[in-house]
Amino acid sequence: MDKELLSILKEANPDKKISLFNDFYRDYKAKDIDLSYKFEVVEFDKPSYASVCKIVPPQDVPRRSNLTTKDGQIILLHAIMHIEYSAIDLAIDAVYRFRDLPKQYYDDWLEVADDEVRHFLMLRELIQELGADYGDVEVHDALFEASQKTQTLIERMAVVPRYLEANGLDATPLILKKLKKLPKNEMIDKIIDRLNIILEEEIDHVKKGDIWFNYACKKNDMKKSSIYFEIIDRYYPQGFSRARSINTEARKEAGFSCVELNKMAHKDIC
């Protein structure tokens, strides 16, 4: 199935990528697909959206300023939908790249990819209502870079679901809080509704990451509690260097231990 996965990953056009994925996932669930891998893993040198979005350094990505304006809403929606779009590729890449794992692993990450497609489309609908579309705002490729750096299962699971997606569990409530303070507006209400759905569903992605991170730790005979912080320190030296807002409840649900959470928060929160 690697040939099909590779063509979905490489597809630059969002509509085509989603339609290729939907066809593949339908056949996968119907057990209508050859599950074996036949070719060597390919490395990518640029993200699939490189021809759709202008990629700039993270500090140059437009900041959302005034969320009561159409432009502010477009910038916010685009930033989140870009994360969702990158997450589609990351979930499919986890299926494509890491082989000889239990079938449940592939079921899990294809289910995540399917969620990310839905999240992307949910936000795309709103940005289109505002007269814009994916590709209209400059983006960074930090998620793609994270996937490039992590070429083993243990590192990938630690960094992508268990660090980056978990950070989203902390960040989304802060965005929601800001949005809820704004004067009543139909578009803002729609954004709030959709971000609430995404936040709820992302807990499951982090949880799946936790399950497969545990699996990789056991397989490599490594201690979960120390290896996680070791990996994050390696790639994100500032990652947990100072105290910040932690979504204790969501992270606990997703498998983080109190020892880990207290260490991240630099105080007892759990």
Residues that bind Fe ion (CB under 5 A): 84, 87, 116, 119, 165, 202, 205
Scored b (16 or more CB within 10 A) or e, 208-234 reads bbbbbbebbbeeeeeebeebbeebbee
- Rounded to the nearest whole angstrom, what is the least distance from the CB of residue 163 to Fe ion in the complex? 12
Shortest gap between Cβ of 165 and Fe ion (angstroms)?
A: 5
Measured from the CB atom, the residue of 125 and 233 that comes closer to Fe ion is 125
Tell the smallest beta-carbon distance from residue 34 to Fe ion (Å).
27
Alpha carbons within 13 angstroms on the beta-carbon side of residue 22 total: 9
Q: Two tokens at 111?
A: 């289910």
| Least spacing, CB of residue 46 vs Fe ion, in Å | 22
User: How far is Cα 141 from Cα 241, in angstroms, rounded to an integer?
Assistant: 23
CB of 89 to Fe ion, least distance (A): 12
d(CA 215, CA 192): 35
Task: State which residue, 60 or 193, has the beta carbon closest to Fe ion.
Answer: 193
State how far the alpha carbon of 205 is from the alpha carbons of 59, 88, 144, in Å.
27, 12, 17
Tell me whether residue 252 or residue 263 sits nearer to Fe ion (CB atom). Answer: 252
What is the C-alpha separation between 139 and 78, in angstroms, rounded? 9
- CB nearer to Fe ion: give 71 or 114: 114
Cβ closest to Fe ion, residue 4 vs residue 116: 116
CB-wise, 89 or 165, nearer to Fe ion? Answer: 165
Helix, strand, or coil (residue 12): coil
Residues in Cβ contact with 27 at an 8 Å cutoff, skipping those fewer than 6 apart? 33
* Nearest distance from C-beta of residue 270 to Fe ion, angstroms: 23
27 vs 204 by CB, closer to Fe ion: 204
- Joined together, the tokens standing for residue 259 give 């020892």
Nearest to 70 by CA among 193, 187, 191: 187
CB of 112 to Fe ion, least distance (A): 6
| Integer CA distances (angstroms), 171 to 31, 143, 202, 255, in order | 38, 16, 12, 18
